[in-house]
Amino acid sequence: MPNGRAKIEIINPTNEENIGYVPAGSTNDIDMAVKSAKEAFKDWSKSSVAKRMEILNSLSSAIKERGEELAQVITSEVGTPIGYSRTAMVGTPRVVSRSYSRILENFEWEEEVRNSIIIREGIGVCAFITPWNFPLHQIIGKVAPAIAAGCTMILKPSKEAPISAFILAEILHDIGLPAGVFNLVSGHGSEIGEYLSSHPDVDMVSFTGSTNAGVAVSHAAAKSVKRVTLELGGKSANVVLDDAEPALVAKRALSACHQNNGQTCSALTRLIIPEHMKEEICKIIADKNDSYTVGDPLDESIRCGPMASKKQQESVTNYIEIGINEGASLISGGLGMPSNLNKGFFVKPTIFADVTTKMKIWKEEIFGPVLVITTYNNENEALFLANDSIYGLSGGVWSGSEDRAIEFAKGMRTGQISINGGFFNVDAPFGGYKASGNGRELGLHGLHEFLEIKSIQK
Ligand code: NAD
């Protein structure tokens, strides 16, 4: 239970109605949560691998059992189209939880190197600070490997979409995770997030969110020399090589940008195409974007819901205005609400062509359904454009030859790349180069982030 009575209102971005409140936790709440996690670490760090596997499998089953409830909650908080909520927001965390049980089956906790035994053990008390855009997925990407590693944790979810975190807390209690292993404190990032990051009894902070807040977390954590992993923003390039099939690329490029209403850190928001394909690709994309259905995310025919908050709606609208003022060619969408809607935090899915590298809409993460398109004349220029970003989270390459696309991908300074629309893989490491962060989540690499290494010489 929280110490204070302050609370945070949760708004449904589709109809602007209140859907509940969560406590605005205080630094006292953080102190209590850290104390509880520190105490629980003594036993949980020594728990058997079999027990951790059992918990991870039960977690996966419980997410499945409460799947529809979780999907409805996330759609009501974030505005994600319900079908995508079911698969990406709930289905992926379910699979990720189970994947860590599988990883534990064969994990080598000890190895011998000449006269040394190298031992891996849980790093300790972990603080998790998470965003609103994939609320449960971002949390499970930290909670599941932490459970596997024998760590204990304090979670501070985003204030815009915290309800699935409360359902997760219920689930973890119900499946028998020992008291104190998982602790939840909701609240404002600036008030308790930095305090949590600086706490001397926290051994590691794993942060997912904007680059500015990630830098603040790093500063706060620096004095106590704890491990900090950061999963931050992106402005990822989708590169079309000159032997790609234009119609296929155009079709997939739109969903790669607009999924989750364009509020995806790894969205492919910069489309880089050969000059000679410009007319054909831009026409198909503009036509498809003109008929992209926007509206109530509970309606299964809708492809784009609202922005998650009024602040987010204003920010995306501002970027669309900037793009127009910067002189990019607006080929679909634009300012204002879609004509069929009169409430909710909606924007029009928007496409800009003739975007130059000097423009803000080329450089900055917009975090909405806004695709920017530019052209190139040779492959070197395409690679320069792909890498022309402070970010490096994700990317795409399209080519008639997979080998050629892979060679091109090797030159990209980014954390994960999809070739010809290759699917997301929960066992592959996810994370960024440059200002997109450090550290990796998911799969075996995600587990290593939560481990300390000890070497004993004989
Ligand atoms: P945000 O940075 O505003 O908030 C993220 C979390 O940090 C929230 O819990 C917030 O309360 C907390 N926070 C804010 N300021 C803080 C501070 N000074 N100290 C400590 N904590 C603080 O981000 P958001 O708007 O919730 O999410 C969108 C951003 O997250 C985008 O930039 C997106 O690209 C990024 N993101 C990255 C990944 C990834 O894996 N790389 C995944 C999802 C989202």
Is ligand 1 within 6 A of the CB of residue 396? no
| CATH code where residue 81 lies | 3.40.605.10
Distance between CA atoms of residues 411 and 36, nearest Å: 46
Work out the average pLDDT over 193-197.
Answer: 97
* Residues 277 and 142 both lie in one domain: no
In a domain, 446, yes or no: yes
Expressed in angstroms and rounded, the spacing between residue 157 Cα and the centre of ligand 1 is 9
* Residues 412 and 451 both lie in one domain: no
pLDDT score, position 2: 76
Per DSSP, the chain holds a count of helices (H) and strands (E) of 16, 20
Q: What are the structure tokens assigned to 334, written together?
A: 């634009």
In a domain, 167, yes or no: yes
* Residues 338 and 275 both lie in one domain: yes
* Residues 162 and 215 both lie in one domain: yes
Residue having the nearest C-alpha atom to atom 37 of ligand 1:
232
The answer to whether the CB of 165 falls within 8 A of the CB of 135 is yes
Work out the average pLDDT over 165-178.
Answer: 98
* Residues 369 and 448 both lie in one domain: no
Counting from 1 in the atom list of ligand 1, the atom nearest the Cα of 231 is 41
In a domain, 2, yes or no: no
Q: Active-site positions?
A: 231, 265
* Residues 289 and 332 both lie in one domain: yes
Is ligand 1 within 6 A of the CB of residue 365? yes
Place of tokens 């993460």: 365
Residue having the nearest C-alpha atom to atom 10 of ligand 1:
189
Percent of the chain with pLDDT over 90: 98
The letter for the amino acid at 34 is: V
In a domain, 78, yes or no: yes
Domain of 336 in residue numbering reads as: 236-426
Is ligand 1 within 6 A of the CB of residue 432? yes
| Residue to substitute in 30, 133, 212, 313 for testing ligand 1 pocket (most ligand atoms within 8 angstroms of CB) | 133
The answer to whether the CB of 242 falls within 8 A of the CB of 277 is yes
Q: Which residues contact 408 (CB under 8 A, 6 or more apart)?
A: 239, 241, 379, 382, 383, 397, 399
* Residues 219 and 264 both lie in one domain: no
pLDDT tier for residue 445 given thresholds of 50, 70 and 90: very high
Work out the average pLDDT over 39-49.
Answer: 98
Place of tokens 């070739």: 419
| CATH code where residue 311 lies | 3.40.309.10
Is ligand 1 within 6 A of the CB of residue 216? yes
- Nearest Cα residue to 77 out of 116, 27, 20: 20
- Nearest Cα residue to 369 out of 249, 268, 279, 296: 268
pLDDT score, position 279: 96
Give tens-digit pLDDT for 212-247: 999 999 999 999 999 999 999 999 999 999 999 999
Is ligand 1 within 6 A of the CB of residue 139? no
For the chain, what is the domain count?
A: 2
Expressed in angstroms and rounded, the spacing between residue 133 Cα and the centre of ligand 1 is 9
In a domain, 255, yes or no: yes
Residue having the nearest C-alpha atom to atom 8 of ligand 1:
158
* Residues 299 and 419 both lie in one domain: yes
Expressed in angstroms and rounded, the spacing between residue 189 Cα and the centre of ligand 1 is 9
Expressed in angstroms and rounded, the spacing between residue 131 Cα and the centre of ligand 1 is 5
Is ligand 1 within 6 A of the CB of residue 77? no
In a domain, 288, yes or no: yes
Is ligand 1 within 6 A of the CB of residue 156? yes
Residue 451 confidence (pLDDT) above 90: yes
* Residues 28 and 113 both lie in one domain: yes
Strand ranges (DSSP E) for 152-234?
152-156, 182-184, 204-208, 227-231
Residue having the nearest C-alpha atom to atom 12 of ligand 1:
189
Distance between CA atoms of residues 353 and 331, nearest Å: 7
Q: What is the mean pLDDT of the chain?
A: 97
Is ligand 1 within 6 A of the CB of residue 229? no
Counting from 1 in the atom list of ligand 1, the atom nearest the Cα of 230 is 41
Is ligand 1 within 6 A of the CB of residue 129? yes
Expressed in angstroms and rounded, the spacing between residue 132 Cα and the centre of ligand 1 is 8
* Residues 371 and 343 both lie in one domain: yes
Sign of the dihedral through C-alpha 237, 242, 246, 252: negative
Expressed in angstroms and rounded, the spacing between residue 209 Cα and the centre of ligand 1 is 2
Percent of the chain with pLDDT over 70: 100
The answer to whether the CB of 411 falls within 8 A of the CB of 417 is no
In this structure, the strands spanning 370-376 and 350-353 are parallel
Residue 106 confidence (pLDDT) above 80: yes
Q: What are the structure tokens assigned to 282, written together?
A: 């831009």
Residue 5 confidence (pLDDT) above 90: no
pLDDT score, position 198: 97
Expressed in angstroms and rounded, the spacing between residue 210 Cα and the centre of ligand 1 is 4
In a domain, 33, yes or no: yes
pLDDT tier for residue 325 given thresholds of 50, 70 and 90: very high
Work out the average pLDDT over 378-397.
Answer: 98
* Residues 36 and 161 both lie in one domain: yes
Work out the average pLDDT over 376-394.
Answer: 98
Residue having the nearest C-alpha atom to atom 9 of ligand 1:
158
Work out the average pLDDT over 65-79.
Answer: 98
Give tens-digit pLDDT for 254-282: 999 999 999 999 999 999 999 999 999 99
pLDDT score, position 453: 98
Give tens-digit pLDDT for 138-161: 999 999 999 999 999 999 999 999
pLDDT score, position 1: 74
In a domain, 240, yes or no: yes
* Residues 181 and 37 both lie in one domain: yes
Distance between CA atoms of residues 136 and 157, nearest Å: 9
